[in-house]
Amino acid sequence: QVQLQESGPGLLKPSETLSLTCTVSGGSISPYYWNWVRQPPGKRLEWIGSMYYSGNTYYNPSLESRVAMSVDTSKNQFSLTLASVSASDTAVYYCTRRSGHPDYWGLGTLVTVSS
Amino acid sequence: DIQMTQSPSTLSASVGDRVTITCRASQTINSWLAWYQHKPGKAPNLLIYKASTLGSGVPSRFSGSGSGTEFTLTINNLQPDDFATYFCHHYDSYPYTFGQGTKLEIK
């Protein structure tokens, strides 16, 4: 059974950089698309971006100037960085897999931005 | 961006009932729509993909229909384990978007 686990700091100060890692177990990073999705408190889910295992990336235009994704196939991990965070970036962040259709999700990790 | 409008936001029902949740896309997404069940503290669970294909291990009381811009998730013979939040997700084109979710509560 494929499992995804997000990890990273849960508390950031405004202007800092958010860095999260998703570790994939029970399956390989290839040949899938890997996504980051977030859900701010009380709001709907928001797609952040997708990365193919080979490195091609697609970002939400609303976040594109601050987002970067990367993959480490040797560790079966992929990562998200979001620069210059503010309170509006407070959310539960999920990593997900797409194999033709989006299938597996992680449990999510809460990231709070507060001074 | 393609906007996904999901209704209702909250739904009260009893064990054994049949319920329907709807998602409407602001433009055609063909059949590139998935439905998920989400419970607190757990990962969202794929129920339906490509609008009407049942996910692996998902009970047959769940079904999906629709294409283009109108989609429905139907749950027949509600079971106690089905009370959760449900949301739709289009994957037709970037940026992907989601419905706002439907909380299914016990009446």
- B97/A47 Cα distance (integer angstroms): 6
3-state percent breakdown (helix, strand, coil) of chain A, nearest 5: 5, 55, 45
pLDDT at site B12? 97
What is the percentage of chain A residues whose pLDDT exceeds 90? Answer: 91
A40 touches B at CB < 8 Å: no
| Short-list B69, B72, B60, CA closest to B92 | B69
For A60, the closest chain B residue by CA position comes to B95
Q: Does A23 touch chain B (CB under 8 A)?
A: no
A108 at the B interface (CB within 8 A)?
yes
Q: Which of residues 42-101 of A touch B (CB under 8 A)?
A: 44-47, 50, 58, 60-62, 94, 98, 101
With 0-12 / 13-18 / 19 or more C-beta atoms within 10 angstroms meaning exposed / middle / buried, residue B83 is middle
pLDDT of A54 reads: 86
Residue-level pLDDT at B16: 97
pLDDT in tens, A53-79: 888 999 999 999 999 999 999 999 999
Give the B window 29-68 contacts with A, CB below 8 Å: 32, 34, 36, 41-46, 49-50, 55
pLDDT at A89 over 90: yes
| CA A53 and chain centroid, separation | 14
Cα dihedral sign for A32, A101, A108, A91? positive
- With tokens 């992907």, the residue in question is B96
Cross-chain residue pair A47–B98, CB shorter than 8 Å = yes
Confidence of residue A101 (pLDDT cuts 50, 70, 90): confident
What is the rounded average pLDDT of the residues A86-107?
Answer: 95
pLDDT in tens, chain B (107 residues): 999 999 999 999 999 999 999 999 999 999 999 999 999 999 999 999 999 999 999 999 999 999 999 999 999 999 999 999 999 999 999 999 999 999 999 98
Give the span between the Cα atoms of A80 and A78, in whole angstroms. 7
DSSP β-ladder status, A18-25 and A3-7: antiparallel
